Amino acid sequence: KNEVEQSPQNLTAQEGEFITINCSYSVGISALHWLQQHPGGGIVSLFMLSSGKKKHGRLIATINIQEKHSSLHITASHPRDSAVYICAVRDQKLVFGQGTRLTINP
Amino acid sequence: NAGVTQTPKFRILKIGQSMTLQCAQDMNHNYMYWYRQDPGMGLKLIYYSVGAGITDKGEVPNGYNVSRSTTEDFPLRLELAAPSQTSVYFCASTIGNAVGAFFGQGTRLTVV
């Protein structure tokens, strides 16, 4: 069993829809990261969480430490949000989920 | 510009050749990582370092070596390249819980 599990693996939605991507982990962590990887391959850090909730523009990330679960939400989704979203947890090393491939159709 | 600098961006190696992928960060981050990403797959940890002079194996260390003689640099060495090492390699760094993870641009390596 992977230490970090993401769901869904693939998600296709229409522009404007509210998107939720989930991440569950089985190890003790000091921080959880949400990352975005565009088709060109570059990886960008979106959020780092150790508790509660963070918001940046249309993106919201939450974490429940007791339940070992985090969610990434995208409001008013847009085709430019199409990317792979990756959850990673860190104690000493960063361990990645498999990623969620999001496609937003116009 | 502050960040993670990874070189080269592209490389083609012949089977049995060796090379070093360079990674440098200027943010004084103590944690540095090397990952590989095979087509359509997630990131797999090769090696990581929690500070100068300290390195440790990740999930897929075989065929690779690393060193961390300074805080800034974390080179990845491939000895006797094999086709199975064809992949995209990413270097990353983090520090504490105050900031996110920073990634290099990636190195696309093909072994033929």
Q: Which of A2 and B91 is assigned the larger pLDDT?
A: B91
Write the DSSP assignment of B37-82 as a string of letters: E-TT--EEEEEEEEETTEEEE-S--TTEEE--SSSSB--EEE-S--
Q: Chain A partners of B50 at a C-beta cutoff of 8 Å?
A: 92
Residue of A nearest to B94 (CA): A94
Residue of B nearest to A101 (CA): B40
What pLDDT was estimated at residue B88?
Answer: 95
At B98 the pLDDT is 47
The string of pLDDT tens digits covering residues A15-66 is 999 999 999 998 878 789 999 988 777 888 898 888 899 999 999 999 999 9
Give A48→chain B minimum CA distance, Å.
Answer: 5
B1 CB near a chain A CB, below 8 Å? no
Q: Work out the average pLDDT over B29-33.
A: 90
Strands B31-37 and B43-51, bridge-based pairing: antiparallel
Whether residue A94 is predicted with pLDDT greater than 50 in this model: the reply is: yes
Does pLDDT of B99 surpass 60? no
Which has the closest alpha carbon to B58: A24, A92, A34, A33?
A92
